[in-house]
Structure 1
C-alpha cells in the first residue's frame, strides 16, 4: 500500500470484509463529534446537482465523514473513473452525484464502519451540445458551464440563441431534446416553445446536459400568426439580417433583390426592401420582410397579375422544396394578415398571370401598397400636350387622353386611337380602339393602361390632305412670288395658280399665304429687334471696356505717384543718414581736441 494512504490503524473503525449475517439491517451512522455538523450530501441535494450526469473532465469534491485523509478533490479520468484511496478505480461515468455517492459508499463499506459519503461538483467539464434542424447556424457547440463564480448549465432557449435563432419554417411546438442514457439508449424530450410564448411557462425552457442534441423540425404547415408572434422572441432568427429573394412573374421589375435592414421608402425606384429592427423598449417588431414589401421593391404588380394564386417556393432542410400559396385578394378584402407571409433567405416569389382580368378588381388592387405608385405612358400625335406622362396604375385610356389635354379639335382623328403595348416576351402588340367617352371602363373601348404603353392619336383625313397639298404647293408658291415681283408678265400664271388653289383648298390658300407673309414680317421685325439689341449690347460692352481702360490708367497713375513719393522718402532718409554721419565725425574731432588740450596741462602739473 502506498505511503501516501493512511494505514489501516489510522482508519476510524475497520471491519473485516467478510460478509456479515446482518448486512441487510439498516445502519445508523455514528453521532458526529461535538461541535461538528453532519454533511447533508447524501440526504438531500439541489435538483441541478442531483440531475447532473458525471463524465470525464469533471472535478468533484469527495467528503467522507470522519476520514479527512480521503476527503479531497478528485478529477474524473478520461475513462469516467475515479482513482480513490484503498478502493482504487471506481467508475462513475453516466451517474448523478447521488448515484456516485452511493457507489463509493458501497465500495468503502468493507473498510469503513458506516461510511457517510458526500460528492459535490466543483468544476463541471465543458459540455458538447448539438443543434440541428430549422436554426440559422446548426452545428456542434462546446459550452463552459462555469459562469459567474459557479456552475450554470445552459437552457434550451440559450442554446437556440447561440445558434442564431429558429427560422420562420421551424416547428416550435415539437422541439426535441435527444439525451443519451447510461445504457446506450436515447431519451427524447419534447418541448413546446409555442406554449412558452403563449403562457410564459418557464418549464418549457429545459436545462441542457452534456451530449444533448437539440432538433427543431420543419413545420408541416406555416402558421403566419405564430411566425409573427415569435419574430420578436430572443430565440428567433435575427430579422435585421439582410436576406436574398427572387421575384418573377407579373411585376414591374422581376429579378433578385436584397432585403436589408433600413427604413422602407414607398417609391417606384426602390431597389432594397427595408425594415426597422426590434424595438427593445417596447418589445415590438415593425417593418418585417413580408411578401407585400418585397413586391413593392420590385416596382409593384402589373394589372395582369393573379393575386389569388401567388406562390412562395422555399428550400427547407433536407433539400426538399416547400410551396406556400398566398391569396393577396383575401388580404385586401377580408383583412387576412396571415396572407402577408414573412420571407426567408433564398425564397422565390412567383406572381402568375391571370386568365381573366376583372377591371373592377384592377381598380381596387391599384390602390394597394404592393402596387406601383405610378406608371409611365407615352401619348403621341394630335393631342394638346403630347409626350410622356406619369399616371396612376389604374388609369384608363380615356383618363390618359384627358390628362394630355384631349384631342386637337382641328387636326385629330377623334373616333379611333391606336394602343401599342410591349409584351413580356419582347414582342409589341398593336390594336385599334374606338373612342367613346360615354363608355365606362372596359377592355374594348376603355382598357386599363400598363406601364410603358404608347397611345397614338392619328390625323384626320382632311388634315392629311391639307398637309400634303400644302407641302406640294410650298415651292410653287415661292417661285410664283419671285416671278410676280420681277415682272407683271406672269400675272396670268399667277391667276391659274390661284384658281388651282381655290379648286383644291376652297380659297383657303390665299388666307394661308397672307398669314405666312404676316409671320415672315413678324420674323423680320423680330430679327431687326434682335439686331438692335445685339448692337446695343456691343456698344455697352465697348463703353464698359473704355471705362475699365480708364480705371486701369488711373490705377497706373496712382501707382506712379506712390512710387515717386517712395523715392523721395528714400532720398530724404539718405540725406538724414549723411547728416548723422557728419555730426558723429564732428563730435569725434571735438573729443580729440579736448584730449589734446588736457595732456599739456597734466604735464605741467607734474613736478
Structure 2
C-alpha cells in the first residue's frame, strides 16, 4: 500500500516495535502495576504518572498509538481513562511547565498541514492596492484582500451532514456505567479500527451515520445498551482532526488548477485560493460546483456581497470541480451613484436591478434622466432614459450609463444680508414674495440700518445681473409701493458704519499702554488715559494735549491744520483746566481720530548706568550723575587707578563696539578731546600692561612674541620669519589695544613704519589673488611663439631683399 504522509509512514515503520516500546515504558519503576492488576493506575504516584508520560512522549508515539498498544496488552478502557483523568487533574492543580504538559493536539481539532496557500498571501503587503483610476469590476475587490481567506472555523460543532473520509480522526467518549475513550483515524480504505473489534467502514457516511454505525458495533463488542435510553451509558462521537481534500478550479479564474483545502472548506475558500474569477473575462454570477459530472450548485457572488446570502456557498468534497463561466453582459455605471463600477447583468434583469447593485442614486444625483452610450453595428449612439423607464429598461452588452449631478442652482432661493437681525437664505413662496415680507421673516432691521437706500442684485433671463435700488425708509413707512422679489434675488441693507471710515482714537506718550483703540461715543480724555493703564511715573499730568482734525470746510486755505486742546489732569484722573476754556473742561469729549499726547516731566529721567572694570580701585556699575559727566569723572568716582593700570591700552566700548580712544593723557589733562561724555551702557576696561606683541598675516611664522622696548617694526617682522612672497608690505598696520590703528606711510622714497607698543597686533595684509596672471608654462609658450614669429619675419625680409 502506498503511504502518502510522513506520519503514516513513520507509524508503519515502527509498528513491529510498538509492543517492545510499550513494555519498556510499563516496566522498571512501574512494576507495581503487574503486582496490582485489580487497580493498576490507582497505585501510581503523581511523579510516576509524570515520568510515564515523559517517556511516552520520548518514544515518538502519539497518545492514540500508546492507548491502542496498551489495550492490546490487556489494559482496559477504564485504566486508560483513569490515566488520562490523572494527567488532566495534575495539569490543572500543579500547572506543569509547558514542556511537561501532555499534548492535546489529538484532542483538539486542527487543520491538515499540507493545505494549499494563496501565492500573494506570502507577500509582506496585506492588501494589494490598485492605484489606477480604471473602473473596477464589481466584486473583484473581494478577492484582493489578503486578510479575507474564507478559512473554515474549527471552533464549531461538527456538522451533522459532514461526510467522513480517509485521514479524518473521530473521537469517541463513553461515560456513565461504563467509561472509555477512543481516538480513531479513518484508514485509506475508509475504515476505523476499534481494539478487539473488526474494522468499521465509515468512509462516505455522514458523521451522524458514522456515529450510529460505530455505537452499534461497540454494543456488539461489550458495551451493552450503549446510547439507549435508561441504560446509564452514553457515547459522544465527534470529529477531531480533519482531513484535506483536493478540488479543481477551471474556467475563467485568475489561477486555475488543483488545490488542497480542508474538508470543511467551502466554495469561497477555494475561489480565494485561486484568486477569484478573472475580472476581465470571468463571471461573478455563474460559478458552478460540479460533483460526479453533475452541477450540484450554482453560486452568485452578488447574493453574497449584497445580501450576505451563503446558501450556495456549500462545503466541498474531494475531487469537486468549480467552474467559472464567461460573463455574458457587462455594463458600466458611473457618475452620481454610490458604487460606480462595471456590473454583470443576467438575462431578465433591468436597469433598476443594476442601480440596486450600485447602491442607488447618490445624494446629489440628477434623477430625472440617465445618459446611455450604446454600441451599434457601426458606431455609438446616445440614449436618454427617463426616471419612469428605469424599471423596464433592459441593458445590453457594452452599455455605459452615466448619472449626472444636479445643478448648483436654487429654484426658489432669495437672500438678505447686511443690517438685518437674521441674514441668510430664504425660500420664495406664498407669503414671502416682497421686500417687506422678507424683512419681517428675517426679524426686522438692526438699529444701525441705513434707511435712505437698499439694493437688490437681480439675475436677468440672460444670466446678467442688474441693480435695483429703492428708499428703504419710505418703503417701511408705506410711502412707496412694496418691491416684489424674484428667484435668485439678493437684498443688501447697508449699515451706517459701512458708509464711513472706521473711527478710532490714539494715546501716546507717558502712559503705561500707548495704543490706538476703537472710538466710543462720549469718551473723555480721562477715560482714554484709564484705558491706557494710567500715567507712567515720569508723566506730566498738567500738560496733556489733544490734536483734532479740522472738519469744517472754509472758503480759503487755513494756516492751521489741526486743533490743539490742552488739559491738566491730576493722577486721580480729574480734569482741572482746559486752556482758554476752563469752564467747559469737564464736558470735553473726544471725537474720532483724536490723538492724545501725555508729556514727560522735564527733570524726570530713568537711571543711566556705565560699567568700569580692570585696574581701578572700585570697579563695578555706576549711575551717570549728571549730563556733563565724562570718562575721567567716572574714573575718579571709582577711586582712581591702581599702580598697575595701563591707560595706553584702556578700551572704551559703546553699544558693544570698541571706540578707538587714547586715554593715556586723560588723568593729567581732563580737558583733552578723548575725555568723552558718558552715555547709558558705556563700558570702560583699564587693563594691566601687556608684554606681548602679536604678528599676523603675510609673515612666514605668524606668532606672539614678548615686547621689547628697543625693537622697531621691522624687528618684530624678523622675529616672525620675514615677509611672505604675497605679503602686501606697503599696507602693513598696527592695531593698538585701545582700538586705535596706525598704518605704514610713504613719501617719495621714504617709508615710515608705525610704532609698536605693548599689547599691539602687527598685521601684514596679503596681496589679492590675480586670477588673470599667466602661469610660468603659459609665459614660456607665449615667448616661444613670439620668437618663432620674429624668426619667420626676419626670414621673409631677407628673402625680399634678395
Q: TM-score, normalised on structure 1?
A: 0.31
From the CA coordinates, give the structure whose radius of gyration is larger: 2
Q: Quick one: higher RCO (CA 8 Å, sep 6+), 1 or 2?
A: 1
Task: Please give the TM-score of this superposition, normalised by the length of structure 2.
Answer: 0.24
